[in-house]
């Protein structure tokens, strides 16, 4: 379907709520009933939240599309996407995060997320056999939209991964989780999503990073730093596994690239007049 399991769950819950509210499926309702229901959601200040309102509309859209019906069948409102720029870390902040972690396993996890620009589930799905140290690449298998891609491995990351694999002997998955522990679950030997999130949060906290850091922040930072280091945007698009170049172009708004790097007029003010005051 091209959508993640979590996205589908976000869509199904509000559809189930509408069905329970009216005692009928949304396809059995008329447009006015749906409009009244959505209006009621928007008026509630706390729960369901505005996010829930959006999921309700998106869920109804998905249902209509699945049945081959147009969106205006239920007169669904248009929801404009918020254009927010991603949070990006500086190289100094990434370095502090790497240095703040005591466990080699955690350092390798942060190194892989940042150094290869991986999504959370892609990092969890890395197998030992996906690492090609000779060619210095990682084979990302079945990423988003079920696309495979190759991303380069840093020689420094390879050195750390070799040491980690030799000492930990992780088995099939590069990052194993302990059953019942923070990193794993009872039915899955991979590191859990919650475990990956915890490691990133801990690294940011111990490194004194005040920004709102999530797992995906390292992917944003990967793309931005590559552009700042001079890599062309088409190559960055391929490394990220993006379908559309427009998705990648958002990083042009946050990357600071030479030779025409933007600067503050305070810099030239102090350079010119600060010496005079001295």
Beta strands in the chain (DSSP E): 131-132, 137-140, 149-152
CA angle, corner 31, sides to 25 and 33, nearest 5? 65
Residue 151, token pair as written in the block: 């991303």
pLDDT in tens, 81-118: 667 889 999 999 999 999 999 999 999 999 999 999 99
Q: How confident is the model at residue 48 (pLDDT cuts 50, 70, 90)?
A: very low
Q: Is the dihedral of CA 117, 121, 122, 123 positive or negative?
A: positive
What is the pairing mode between strands 149-152 and 131-132? unpaired
Burial 210-221 (b: 16+ CB within 10 A, else e): eeebbbebbbbb
Nearest one of 113, 131, 107 to 225, comparing CA atoms: 113
Residue 137, beta-bridge partner list:
132, 152
The rounded distance, in Å, linking the Cα atoms of 230 and 257 is 7
Backbone angles phi, psi at 81, to 5 degrees: -70, 135
Q: How confident is the model at residue 186 (pLDDT cuts 50, 70, 90)?
A: very low
pTM of the model: 0.68
> 3-state class of 243 per DSSP?
coil
Catalytic residues: 119, 144, 216, 219, 242, 251
Residue 33, token pair as written in the block: 């009933």
Residue 239, token pair as written in the block: 């490394």
The domains of the chain, with CATH numbers, are 5-73 (no CATH), 91-253 (1.10.443.10)
- 6-10, 27-31, 207-211, 262-266: which is most confident: 207-211
Backbone angles phi, psi at 192, to 5 degrees: -80, 160
């Amino acid at each position: 379907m091209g959508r993640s399991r979590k996205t589908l769950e976000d869509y199904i819950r509000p559809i189930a709520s509408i069905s329970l509210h009216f005692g009928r499926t949304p396809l059995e309702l008329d447009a006015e009933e749906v409009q009244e229901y959505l209006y009621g959601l928007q008026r509630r200040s706390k729960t369901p939240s505005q996010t829930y309102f959006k999921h309700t509309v998106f869920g109804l859209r998905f249902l209509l599309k699945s049945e081959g019906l147009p969106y205006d069948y239920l007169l669904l409102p248009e929801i404009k996407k918020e254009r927010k720029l991603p949070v990006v870390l500086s190289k100094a902040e990434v370095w502090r995060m790497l240095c703040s972690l005591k466990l080699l396993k955690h350092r390798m996890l942060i190194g892989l997320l940042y150094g290869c620009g991986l999504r959370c589930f892609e990092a969890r799905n890395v197998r030992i056999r996906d690492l090609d140290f000779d060619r210095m690449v990682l084979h990302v298998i079945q990423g988003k939209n079920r696309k495979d891609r190759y991303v380069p491995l840093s020689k420094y990351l390879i050195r750390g991964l070799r040491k980690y694999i030799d000492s930990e002997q992780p088995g099939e998955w590069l990052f194993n989780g302990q059953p019942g522990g923070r990193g794993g679950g009872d039915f899955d030997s991979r590191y859990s999503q919650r475990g990956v999130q915890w490691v990133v949060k801990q690294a940011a906290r111990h490194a004194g990073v005040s920004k709102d850091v999530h797992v995906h922040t390292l992917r944003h930072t990967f793309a931005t730093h590559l552009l700042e280091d001079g890599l062309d945007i088409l190559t960055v698009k391929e490394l990220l596994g993006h379908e559309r170049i427009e998705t990648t172009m958002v990083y042009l708004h946050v990357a600071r690239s030479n030779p025409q790097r933007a600067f503050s007029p305070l810099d030239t003010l102090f350079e010119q007049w600060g010496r005079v005051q001295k």
